Amino acid sequence: MAISFLSAWRILLSLTACITLAPALAQPVERLPSTVARALQTAGIPKQNVAVIVQDVTDGAPSKPHVRVNPTQAFNPASLMKLLTTYAALELLGPGYTWKTEAWIHGKVSGGVLQGDLVLKGSGDPKLTFEQFWLLLRQLRARGLREIHGDLVLDRSRFDNASINASSAEIFDDQPLRPYNVTPDALLLNFKTLRLQLMPNPDNQTLVVLGEPQLVNLDIINLIRPGTLNQDCGNWKDALHAELSSGNQRTQLLLSGVYPPSCGEKIWHLGVLSHPQYVEGVFRQLWQDLGGTLTGSLREATLPAGAQLLASSVSPPLSEVLRDINKFSNNVMARQLFLTIGAEYPAIAGRNEGGAKVIRTWLQEKQLDFPEMVLENGSGLSRHERLSADSLTRLLLAAWQSPLMPEFLASLPLSAIDGTMKHRLNLQALAGQAHVKTGSLEGVKTIAGYVHDQSGRWHIVVFLVNHANAAAAQPAQDALLRWVYNRGARGG
């Protein structure tokens, strides 16, 4: 079906935004504010490696931009790509959209005993946490189910593996167990993450490691050596190494390296096991804790005909999920959302494209032409994704003019208050006045969002840096945010 798939209210959203997007941005100012230029010079970042736009949006319609440097040049936006995915989801799915995870039985139940299989069917919930999964299993016990004389069957069919693989390489870098490298899945559980608590013993001779959740199919082998007493904690994670080793029916997590006692207790998160293995490990442990038994093994299959729904878990609404994605830059949640968009519009999505084709069609409806855009997985965890400052500005303007603007704005990190901006611009007048998304990769440092200046006016701010010294660009970006706030971007 064509994008007549949008309901009437969504079409009205598109038409409303398009009315004010037509005028061209006039007479660009190519000069950077002096404080920003000096900070970039100190960082060793040339002007040709940055793109900056500052534009007043207080009155809704495009105004003359106050700063416009390299506006149409394609940059790697890093996590700013989440702005596109989350705003598209708001309009295509609606702020009240939810995901369901369901537990079905295939067989007969008598006296609390199921002679058959338990089927867990996922819909791609980005926020199915350990606690929510426990509540789902509690429902099963409350309905009288105690013994499962059959298999645990996982239906992960909503997201096909081809779409997942096409939307990004499985491992972004050489850190396969880092949580940001967790791939999406229709039955994503607890972000497929293991929480390790590192606790030095008082004698400083040994280190205790506790894992949560307790995965019955994973053995943790702790070979970490305590460092010397005078050793600085520093970047303690860089001195540790984790590796998975598969054996018969169990997998070993081998931990090695050196951990200085001066670090005290720390938390180390790792993405472990395959998605099916992780679900099985958590299920078996929780089900046992709840007094249940499972005699069969793990299988994957689609929901069989004749199965009966026994319990379900409903996610928080999309408007709440967006806050986790944008404020904390959660990659796997963004990728779940990207694939959900494709799954909701299968006639448009096509094979192996996730939500890319649907989002492109939606942009066309809104008369937003981003010719330079490369859209891979919608999270920004990519070496291939590209977007220009001009395209980001027009996207942010469309969101600003949308009736859904309050939900979108509330999802962005707030300067000095929360998310990835919590520790930036603290103890300054700008605290709480900038709603900006951040992005960071090796060689990439970006920000984009909205600033409320001291005179009460609102501005779109986009600042992209692609350069080997990009990690040193934060002072320049913070200087731009201060300039916009203090001078209303009007003082030159």
DSSP state of 374: B
User: Which of these, 77, 39, 55, lies nearest to 465 by C-alpha position?
Assistant: 77
Phi, psi of 191 (to 5 degrees): 60, 20
pLDDT of residue 6: 46
Kindly give the residue spans of alpha helices, DSSP state H, lying in 273-431: 275-289, 318-327, 331-344, 346-349, 356-365, 389-401, 405-410
User: Which of these, 346, 176, 345, lies nearest to 273 by C-alpha position?
Assistant: 176
Count of C-beta atoms within a 10 Å radius of residue 332: 23
pLDDT of residue 65: 85
Q: Rounded distance, CA 195 to CA 173, Å?
A: 21
| The pair of three-digit structure tokens given for residue 59, joined into one six-digit string | 């009155």
Q: Are the CB atoms for 76 and 57 separated by under 8 Å?
A: no
251-259 and 298-300 as β-strands: parallel, antiparallel, unpaired?
A: unpaired
Query: If one looks up domain 3-96+318-487 in CATH, what number appears?
Result: 3.40.710.10
| The pair of three-digit structure tokens given for residue 184, joined into one six-digit string | 């999406």
Sequence-separated (6 or more) residues with CB below 8 Å from residue 193:
179, 182, 269, 270, 271, 272
Same topology, domains 3-96+318-487 and 99-315? Answer is no
CATH 3.50.80.20 assigned to 99-315 = yes
Sequence-separated (6 or more) residues with CB below 8 Å from residue 413:
326, 327, 419, 420, 421, 422, 435, 436, 437, 438, 449
- Sorted by where each begins, the domain ranges of the chain are 3-96+318-487, 99-315
Instruction: Give the CA angle between residues 453, 44, 69 to the nearest 5°.
Output: 45
Helices and strands (H and E) in the chain: how many? 13, 19
Alpha-carbon distances of 173 from 53, 165, 253, 326, 442, rounded to whole Å: 31, 15, 19, 22, 10
Count of C-beta atoms within a 10 Å radius of residue 258: 15
Q: Rounded distance, CA 315 to CA 271, Å?
A: 22
Q: Rounded distance, CA 216 to CA 197, Å?
A: 18
pLDDT in tens, the chain (492 residues): 444 444 444 444 444 444 343 333 334 478 999 999 999 999 999 999 999 999 999 987 767 889 999 999 999 999 999 999 999 999 999 999 999 999 999 999 999 999 999 999 999 999 999 999 999 999 999 999 999 999 999 999 999 765 566 444 445 677 889 999 999 999 999 999 999 999 998 876 789 999 999 999 999 999 999 988 788 999 999 999 999 998 666 899 999 999 998 999 999 999 999 999 999 999 999 999 999 999 999 999 999 999 999 999 999 999 999 999 999 999 999 999 999 999 999 999 876 678 999 999 999 999 999 999 999 999 999 999 999 999 999 999 999 999 999 999 999 999 999 999 999 999 889 999 999 999 999 999 999 999 999 999 999 999 999 999 999 999 999 999 999 999 865 544
Q: Are the CB atoms for 444 and 465 separated by under 8 Å?
A: yes
pLDDT of residue 487: 80
| The pair of three-digit structure tokens given for residue 394, joined into one six-digit string | 């027009």
Sheet with strand 50-56: strands edge to edge? 67-69, 50-56, 458-466, 444-452, 434-441
User: Which of these, 24, 68, 3, lies nearest to 369 by C-alpha position?
Assistant: 24
Which residue type, as a one-letter code, is found at position 225? Answer: R
Q: Are the CB atoms for 370 and 391 separated by under 8 Å?
A: yes
Kindly give the residue spans of alpha helices, DSSP state H, lying in 354-443: 356-365, 389-401, 405-410
| The pair of three-digit structure tokens given for residue 181, joined into one six-digit string | 């490298």
